[in-house]
Amino acid sequence: MSNVTLTFVKLGGSFITDKRAAESFHAEATARAAREMAAACANDPNLRLLIGHGSGSFGHTAAERYGTMRGVRTKADWRGFAEVALAARKLNNLVTEALHAAGLPIVSIQPSASARCFDGHLARMDDKAIKSTLKHGLTPLVYGDVAFDTLRGGTIISTEAIFFYLAERLHPTRIFLLGEVEGVYDVHGAIIPRITTGNFESIAGALGGSHGTDVTGGMASKVRTMLTLTERVPHLQIRIFGGTAPGTLEAALRGESAPGTLIESETQ
């Protein structure tokens, strides 16, 4: 087991849904990504995956309507909280089925069942089930979800926030974030090959939000969060890239290519 390597893979909301159209699921793109992950695991018995997915046009659309990210206090707010949870779970069911159909031993784990936040920040979440899932050679699946919040009543936790929390405890070697874009772009529209704390401030102004509704922040927020994580988890490498080209994800998992933008500690 000492040679086992753990990789987190996020299927971004912009990749598995059309974020400009409510509850629009990209079934074929999701199925292709699932087949590529299954093929990579079949090729390397030491590869372990923890998969997450965004809420895309399912959870984000509902969350924007009710303002769930900002807090949940009134009866109407709580009704919205429940609707956001339902929308996120609906998408999770579709993703779970696609991963299962590809042959992955997938176990979906609902974050809101144990997650607790304080003022929008994930403070704790039970990781025992995830650790047991990995220990027995299964593949855990998490997703952006609602969460109870000590200060706000309720809020939203992004997949990146969940990855951040789990990475500090599980120490993956890689995190892959797949979206509709091929990487992080500079002001001239070229992909930035590498981002560290050393060059982030110089390129931060070029990082905008995301296409469509995203209540958890756009690219700048994601990059900043991931940079912080690379400072806390030794030897962690994070890649942001597009999953639309067939074979890209599988090649990256097999270490045969280095697509998109690499985010890593300045000292690596």
pLDDT tens digits for range 30-73: 999 999 999 999 999 999 999 999 998 898 778 888 999 999 99
* Cβ atoms 26, 17 nearer than 8 A: yes
Q: What is the DSSP string of the chain?
A: -TT-EEEEEEE-HHHHB-TTSTT-B-HHHHHHHHHHHHHHHHH-TTEEEEEEE--HHHHHHHHHHHTGGG---SHHHHHHHHHHHHHHHHHHHHHHHHHHHTT--EEE--GGGT-EEETTEEEE---HHHHHHHHTT-EEEEE-EEEEETTTEEEEE-HHHHHHHHHHHH--SEEEEEESSSS-B-TTSPBP-EE-TTTHHHHGGG----SS--TT--HHHHHHHHHHHHHHSTT-EEEEEE--STTHHHHHHTTS---SEEEE-TT-
Alpha-carbon distance of 186 to 203, in angstroms, equals: 7
Task: Tell me what pLDDT residue 211 has.
Answer: 47
Task: Tell me what pLDDT residue 202 has.
Answer: 84
pLDDT tens digits for range 180-219: 889 998 888 899 999 998 888 888 777 755 544 444 456 7
Average confidence score pLDDT of the chain: 92
Of 165, 163, 68, which Cα lies nearest the Cα of 120? 68
Residue 2's pLDDT band, with cuts at 50, 70 and 90, is low
Q: What is the DSSP string of 209-253?
A: --SS--TT--HHHHHHHHHHHHHHSTT-EEEEEE--STTHHHHHH
Alpha-carbon distance of 229 to 238, in angstroms, equals: 9
Q: Which amino acid does the sequence have at 70?
A: R
Task: Report how far apart the first and last C-alpha atoms of the chain are (Å, whole number).
Answer: 25
Task: Tell me what pLDDT residue 208 has.
Answer: 58
Mean pLDDT for 72-100 is 96
Prediction pTM value:
0.92
Strands 139-143 and 106-108: parallel
